[in-house]
Amino acid sequence: MAEKRDYYDVLGVSRDATTRDIKKAYRRLAMKYHPDRNPGDAESEELFKEASEAAEVLTDDSKRSRYDQFGHAGLEGAAGGGGFGGGSGSFGSIFEDVFGDIFAGGRGGSRVQRGTDLKYTFDMSLEDAVRGVNPQIRVPTLVECQECLGSGARRGTSPTACVQCGGMGQVTSRSGFFSVQQACPRCRGTGKMITDPCDQCSGQGRRQENKTLSVKIPPGVDTGDRVRLPGQGEAGPNGGPAGDLYVEVRVEDHAIFQREAQHLFCEVPISFSDAALGSEVEVPTLDGRVSLKIPAETQTGKRFRLRGKGVDVSQINRGGVGDLYCEIIVETPVNLTKRQKELLREFEEASDERQSPRRHSFFEGVKSFFDGLGN
C-alpha cells in the first residue's frame, strides 16, 4: 500500500492553520476534483477522497491532536475503525459541513432569514442638499405581525414540525457517497407547518405597514448618495432580523445653478455696452448676492471664479468647499428703436478691424482658404 501523504501537504496549509483555513483549502480542492466535475477520472476521484480524508481529520480537534503527535499511526484504532470513512466523522459530515451553505443554507431547524433591504428615493432641492435636512419619510414595508409575534400561528397556538422533513427544513438525496441537501418542498425550508394561521397576517408572520421615519441627510449630498438606516427594511421571515433601508438622494434641477461635484456653475448675461466698457454686476450665490467686476472688452464665454462659493462636502469625505464659476454671456440687443439702429450703424462705420480682432482673423482665414482652392 502506498504511503499516505501528510494531511497538511494534501491541503496545502501550514501546521498552524486555523479550522477556517483548512475548510477553505478543502473547499477549493473538493470543487476541483469532485467526481461530478471529472466523470471517469480515477485520479481526480482519489485526490478528492484524499483531500476529504485530510479535512475530516484536521477539522476535528481530537483527531488533529493525535495526528500532530503521532502522525497517521495516531489514528489507527480510533473509534469507528480509524482513518477515513469510519465512525461519526465520515466524509458525508465534513462535506455537508463545508458545503452546507451552498446546498442547504445551513443544517437543521427552520430557516430564519434576514429581511429584504429597501430603497427609498428622496427628492430634494439644491439648497437643501447643500445645507442638509432632517426630513420625515413614509415608507411602505413588511413588519413583524404583532398579533402572532411573527410566528404566523393564531395566538395561543404554535406551528408544528413539518411531517416531511421532521422540522429540519431540508430533505437529503444521496447518490453513493455524494449527498445534496435541499429546502423541503412541503414547508419551503421553514421546518414548520401552520395548521391554524393568524387571522391578522394570514399565517405569513408579517404585515404590510407604512412606517414614518426621521432621516438625517448631511450637508453636501448629491444625486446618487445614500443614507443607510439599519434595521428599517423588511422584517425577516420566521422572526428573522429586519433588513436595512437605504434612502437615496435625488437633487432636483436648479433654475440658476448647475453642479459638478463640489463646484457650482451659472451664466451671467450682460449687455453689449457693459462688456465693451466694463461694469460691476450682482451675481447670486447660495449665501446671497455678491458683486462681480466685469473688465472692459470682456468676451462672451469668459469665466470668473468665486472661491469658496460652491458646496461644502467636508461632511461626506469628498474634500472641502468648492467654487462658483460665473460664465459671461454677452447679450445681443433686441427690439431696437430707429435711433438705436442709427447709433449702431454710426458706431460700425467709425470702427475698424482693431476693434474686432477675432472677426478680422476669421475672415482673413476664410479668404486664404478660398484663395487656396482657386490655385
Mean pLDDT lowest among 131-135, 160-164, 350-354, 369-373: 369-373
Per DSSP, 312 falls in state B
Confidence of residue 105 (pLDDT cuts 50, 70, 90): very low
Q: How far apart are CA 244 and CA 255, in angstroms?
A: 35
**Percent of the chain residues past pLDDT 70, beyond the cut:** 81
What residues pair up with 197 in beta bridges, in sequence order?
Answer: 153
- The predicted pLDDT at position 33 comes to 85
Q: What residue type is 272 in one-letter code?
A: F
The reported pLDDT for the residue numbered 205 is 87
Cell matching residue 326: 460665473
Q: How far is CA 332 from the centre of its chain?
A: 49
What is d(CA 309, CA 331) in angstroms, rounded to the nearest whole number? Answer: 25
Burial of 179 per CB tally in 10 Å (0-12, 13-18, 19+): middle
Q: Identify the pLDDT of residue 136.
A: 95
pLDDT higher at 154 or 1: 154
So what's the pLDDT on residue 162?
86
> Can you give the pLDDT at residue 87?
36
What domains are there in the chain, each with its CATH number? 7-103 (1.10.287.110), 118-251 (2.10.230.10), 258-334 (2.60.260.20)
Shortest CA distance to 110 belongs to which of 150, 59, 54, 170?
A: 170
Cα 225 to its chain centre, rounded Å, is: 11
pLDDT, average across residues 21-43: 83
Share of the chain above pLDDT 90, in %: 41
Using CA atoms, how far apart are residues 334 and 206, in angstroms rounded to an integer?
Answer: 67
pLDDT value at residue 372? 66
pLDDT for 355 = 63
pTM over 0.85: no
Question: Is pLDDT above 60 for 90?
Answer: no
Q: What is the mean pLDDT of residues 93-100?
A: 56
pLDDT top residue among 15 and 30: 15
Mean pLDDT of the region 73-88? 48
pLDDT tens, position by position, 241-291: 888 999 999 999 999 999 999 999 999 999 989 998 999 999 999 988 999
For residue 29, the tally of other CB atoms under 10 A from its CB is 19
Distances in Å between the alpha carbon of 110 and those of 107, 165, 237? Answer: 9, 10, 10
Per DSSP, 353 falls in state G
Report CA 372 to chain centroid distance, whole Å: 60
Side-chain-facing half-sphere of 222: CA atoms under 13 Å = 15
The C-alpha cell at 332 is 445681443
d(CA 142, CA 238): 13
pLDDT tens by residue, 182-226: 888 888 777 788 888 998 888 888 899 999 999 999 999 999 999
What is the band of 177 on the pLDDT scale with cuts at 50, 70, 90? Answer: low
Does the structure show a pLDDT above 80 at 370? no
Would you place residue 103 in the very low, low, confident or very high pLDDT band (cuts 50, 70, 90)? very low
- Supply the pLDDT for residue 75: 78
| Mean pLDDT for all residues in the chain | 82
Q: Give the ranges where the chain is alpha helix by DSSP (H).
A: 7-11, 19-33, 42-58, 61-70, 91-103, 126-131, 272-277, 338-350, 357-374
* pLDDT greater than 50 at residue 371: yes
Question: Which amino acid is residue 188, in one-letter code?
Answer: R
Is the pLDDT confidence value at 329 over 90? yes
Looking at residue 84, what is its pLDDT?
Answer: 37
pLDDT of residue 85 exceeding 80, the answer is no
